[in-house]
């Protein structure tokens, strides 16, 4: 797999990969990622195609998905019920 392009889009890093006859587009925001894969013949073959694909409603939906993913991550962390005492260091005399 090799990177054929990168660009930023409204605080989202977009990386375009190609491998065999498949193009992968990774969107990154904070510590979250979304990856979309396209087979040859889908109409998306270049970085310029990805930029056009990422406009308008598509980027709005991607942002909404990031918001949902962030909520899921936060709830998951809260459900761990981590005991704050376990994070303390032993007392050294």
Q: Tell me: pLDDT of 14 over 80.
A: yes
Structure tokens at 12: 């989202």
Domain regions of the chain by residue span: 2-79
CB neighbours of residue 59 within 10 Å: 16
Assigned architecture for domain 2-79: 2-Layer Sandwich (3.30)
What's this model's pTM, rounded to 2 decimal places?
Answer: 0.81
Q: Tell me: pLDDT of 90 over 90.
A: no
Q: Which of 1, 43, 67, 42 is nearest to 26 (CA)?
A: 1
Q: What is the pLDDT of residue 34?
A: 98
Q: Tell me: pLDDT of 93 over 90.
A: no
* Residue pLDDT, tens place only, 16-64: 999 998 999 999 999 999 999 999 889 999 999 999 999 999 999 999 9
Q: Tell me: pLDDT of 89 over 80.
A: no
Structure tokens at 85: 């005492």
Q: Which residue has the higher pLDDT, 68 or 92?
A: 68
């Amino acid at each position: 797999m090799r990177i054929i392009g990168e660009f930023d889009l409204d605080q989202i890093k977009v990386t375009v990969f190609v491998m065999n006859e498949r193009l992968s587009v990774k969107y990154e925001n904070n510590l979250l990622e979304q990856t979309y894969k396209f087979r040859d013949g889908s109409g998306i073959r270049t970085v310029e195609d990805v930029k056009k694909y990422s406009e308008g409603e598509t980027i709005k939906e991607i942002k909404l998905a990031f918001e949902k993913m962030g909520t899921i991550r936060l709830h998951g962390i809260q459900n761990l019920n981590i005991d704050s005492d376990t994070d303390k260091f032993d007392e050294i005399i």
